[in-house]
Structure 1
Amino acid sequence: MRNKSIRIIILLLVLVAAGYFAYRLFTKSGKKTPSGQQAAARPAGRPILADAYVVKPVTLDESIEASGTLQSNEEVELKPEITGRITHINFKEGVKVGKGTLLIKLYDGDILAQIRKLELQQQLAKTTLERQENLLKINGISQQDVDVTANQFSAYGADIEFNRAQLQKTEIRAPFSGTLGLRYVSEGAIVGPTTIMTTLQQLDPLKIDFSVPEKYRNAIHKGDPVFFTVTGDTSKYRGNIYAIDPKIDLATRSVKIRAMVPNANGRLFPGSFAKTSISLKDNPNAIMIPSQAVIPGTRNKQVIVADSGRAKFVIVETGVRNENNVQILNGLQPGDTVITSGILQLKPGMPFQYNKVQ
């Protein structure tokens, strides 16, 4: 009796669960979503409404913006050519110096002594050579002995020149006029060819380096003006392009450009970040379309063009952009009608109707 009651209870639970799921299934199949109602309300094959833009040529004042860096016109790290001890430091940090100014002097006592010794030996060889030449006139000595002495005299002269060249290396002079940087050594320090003692930079004029996309390579020429601003300064500065790298960078597909910038007032500093702008020649027949009409892709960009009331996808090449529009370099012609709305619903060859044409 007890087992029979348990079976009845289980049967009732199964019936209740089956009834619940049947009710849920019925309510879902009978309920329509708003999109489903719209789909049912719209007859099959009805064209999609879309906004369009008729392409026409406009005048475009095109400019290129790029990030740049200010560089010294000339810059060098001053290092000694030989190892030695600093005996004198003849400059102050951050001051301007002229070309050839003696900045640092290394110990040269040993070189001076060697030069003095060689000069005495050369003088003795000269005296000996004069005597032998007189003896040669009376056949009192052979020509070979005279030649040996003459060669020795010349060798002393070469040794003296070598040591004088070494003596010049003990004097570190400014290779050009400029402004000295910080000093990294002190008097008495032993320095070598790898020791940076200070830096020298020419700050007027300055250089500015920046890169632009390769498609603008033929639109930029030497002498073109460059306008730029630097961080922390609201003033707008101007320079002129004087060098263009003949090679396109393989990694970035851009071309490096260098411009010369006057800096007589000293307000610009090497290493500063600069936001540059180059104005290109006005293009009176530029094709500009709304930015939302361009469909980006992994390999190319496309737009939808009206073709007898149907959607036609066209690959385009874009140029500069502004706040609302983008330039089309290839793919469109004046008079083409470009779809600007509903582009996600349209497929190639699908019919549509105009909602608004601009």
Structure 2
Amino acid sequence: MKKAFALVILALIIVFGGIFGFKAFVNKKISEVMAHMPKPVVAVSATTARTELWHPHLQAITSLTAVQGVEITPQIAGDVTAIHFHSGQYVHAGTVLVEIDDSNQLAQLASDEAQLRLARINLRRTRALIATKAASQSQLDSAVALYQSDAAALKDIHATLNKLAIRAPFSGYLGIRQVNIGQYLTPGNQIVDLQSWNPLYANFTLPQSELHDIRVGMPVQVGTNAYPGQVFNGTVTALGASVNPTTRQIEAQAIIANPENRLRPGLFGELTVVRDTEEKVLTVPVSALSYNTFGNYVYVIKKETRDGKTVEVAHQQVIQTGKERNGQVSIVSGLKAGERVVTAGQVKLVDGSLVKISDEKDT
């Protein structure tokens, strides 16, 4: 029994050994054939890394706000009796927007005016009497005090009436109307928002490491996806008095010209502070970059001799990148000016691939 089992095991070893041996033999022959086959040449696009002069930029995310902007609200409660504006309308400073019921105040105004007239008459009479010594000084003092009190009451009712006629505090564009005729309003109820669109403030923050690179008066440029490809110019007008101890950021503000009223308060965009210096940077197109777990790299094209022929070979080269601008990226290390890099076709490449340049541009 044991002898039969051993024979079976031996037979299996011979069979499987033959199978694996045959596969190894086939793979070896295939490898030998592949080694002697010409390597494929990959068509790629390329460009040359070169040195450029860049104005150093400071970039930040910004939010636009109105230099003058306010939510119009009543100061005194009452029913809306008249509305004198339309949503989206441009109004001048002082324009009456909404009237609130002032019937009680008008009645009080008539009463206060009558009281003031009487107080004025009594004051004149008392002054005439005191000239003939028919009235005392205390009577004159009382008449003066009463006149001044009635005059103050009249000013107070005029102030109340002015508050019931709600006016635009400055010229600008109105938003969407939030009230209707007959609606009862209380202080704080929103009537409409009023915004001045030209100019606008651009508020942004910068890390403390860039504090020495920014100052009041520097030019800025703002871009927003509301107007792709367009730039709006402005100037830095203020820097924060301190650095935020939590974020280590400093607040800054710029004023942006908006003569065509295209921008709106609340827009989100990218702001660039343009410094007045230049620096040399080595650049390549952003399209030349590839990424893996070890970082950024490019394929550098080099000429080599293989089998007596001069060929162009793409080699992976790890680089350290800097800032991006207009489709170009600055190279901090890992590349030299004049080296050619692949800009299209990298997906077909591995380190050491033969390449044929089908399109080469001088950036």
CA distance in 2, matches of 1:93, 1:275: 30
2: CA distance between counterparts of 1:65 and 1:126?
69
1:327-351 CA-partner distances (Å, limit 9, x unpaired): 9xxxxxxxxxxxxxxxxxxxxxxxx
Partner of 2:244: 249
* 1:245 partner SS: strand
Preserved CA contact (<8 Å) 2:55 2:276: yes
Counterpart of 1:109 in structure 2 is 103
Deviation at 1:232, TM superposition (A): 3.8
Other-structure match for 1:261: 256
Structure 1 residue 61: deviation in Å? 4.0
- Amino acid across the alignment from 1:68: T
Give identity over the alignment, percent.
Answer: 28
Q: Counterpart of 1:145 in 2: which secondary structure?
A: helix
Structure 1 residue 123 displacement after superposition: 1.5
In 2: Cα distance, 1:150 partner to 1:319 partner: 83
Cross-structure match for 2:152 = 158
Conserved? CA contact 2:281–2:330, under 8 Å = no
| Inter-CA distance 320–251: structure 2 relative to 1 (3 Å threshold) | farther
On the 8 A contact 1:63/1:279 being kept in 2, the answer is yes
Residue pair 2:235, 2:256 contacting (<8 A) in 1 also: yes
2:211 to 217, 237, 241: 217
C-alpha distance in structure 1 between counterparts of 2:55 and 2:124, whole Å: 84
Cα displacement string for residues 266-321 of structure 1 (whole angstroms, at most 9, x for unaligned residues)? 22222121112223343659999xxx9xx99xxxxxxxxxxxxxxxxxxxxx9964
Q: Is the 8 A contact 2:56 2:279 kept in 1?
A: no
Given the superposition, is the C-alpha separation of residues 169 and 94 from structure 1 closer, same or farther in structure 2, using an over 3 Å criterion? same
Per-residue CA deviation, residues 152-210 of structure 1 (Å, 9 max, x unaligned), is: 12211111111111111111111111000011111111111110100000011112111
Q: Are 2:268 and 1:273 aligned?
A: yes
Structure 2 distance, partners of 1:142, 1:195, is: 53
Q: Does 1:76 align with 2:70?
A: yes
Contact 1:62 1:283 in 2 (8 A): yes
- The number of residues matched between the two structures is 245
Match of 2:93 in 1: 99
Question: 2:188 is matched with which residue: 169, 186, 194?
Answer: 194
Which one of the candidate residues 62, 79, 83 is aligned to 1:85?
A: 79
Deviation string, structure 1 residues 101-122 (Cα, Å, up to 9, x no partner)? 1111111121121121122122
Say whether residues 1:126 and 2:120 are aligned partners: yes
Q: Deviations over 1:17-44 (max 9, x none)?
A: xxxxxxxxxxxxxxxxxxxxxxxxxxxx
CA RMSD of aligned residues (A): 2.9
Q: Is the 8 A contact 2:56 2:274 kept in 1?
A: yes
Q: How does 1:1-358 map to 2 (within 5 A)?
A: 61-234=55-228, 235-282=230-277, 321=323, 323=329, 325-326=331-332
Local SS of the residue matching 2:265: coil
Letter in 1 for 2:174: L
Q: Is the Cα contact below 8 Å between 2:281 and 2:331 reproduced in 1?
A: no
With over 3 angstroms needed to count, the CA separation of the structure-2 counterparts of 1:251 and 1:326, relative to structure 1, is farther
Question: What secondary structure, in the 3-state scheme, does the structure 2 residue paired with 1:157 have?
Answer: helix
* Preserved contact between residue 231 and residue 272 of structure 1 (Cα < 8 Å): no
| Contact kept? 1:77, 1:197, Cα under 8 Å | yes
CA distance in 2, matches of 1:133, 1:177: 49
Q: Which runs of 5+ in 1 are unaligned?
A: 1-57, 297-317, 328-358
Whole-Å separation in 2 of the counterparts to 1:319 and 1:218: 23
Moved over 3 A (4+): 58-61, 281-288, 318-327
User: SS of the residue aligned with 2:200?
Assistant: strand
Q: Is contact 1:59-1:282 (8 Å) kept?
A: no
Q: d(CA) in 2 for partners of 1:125 and 1:62?
A: 74
Give the distance between the partners of 2:110 and 2:246, measured in 1 at CA. Answer: 59
Query: In the superposition, relative to structure 1, how do residues 277 and 141 fare at CA in structure 2: closer, same or farther (>3 Å)?
Result: closer
CA distance in 2, matches of 1:243, 1:221: 8
Equivalent residue of 2:66, what SS?
A: strand
Residues 210, 120 of structure 1: alpha-carbon distance in 2 compared, 3 angstrom cutoff: same
Q: Tell me the SS of whatever aligns to 1:264.
A: coil
1:17 corresponding residue in structure 2: none
1:197-236: per-residue Cα shift (whole Å, max 9, x none)? Answer: 0000001111211111112112112221112210142212
Query: 1:157 and 1:227, CA in 2 relative to 1: closer, same or farther beyond 3 A?
Result: same
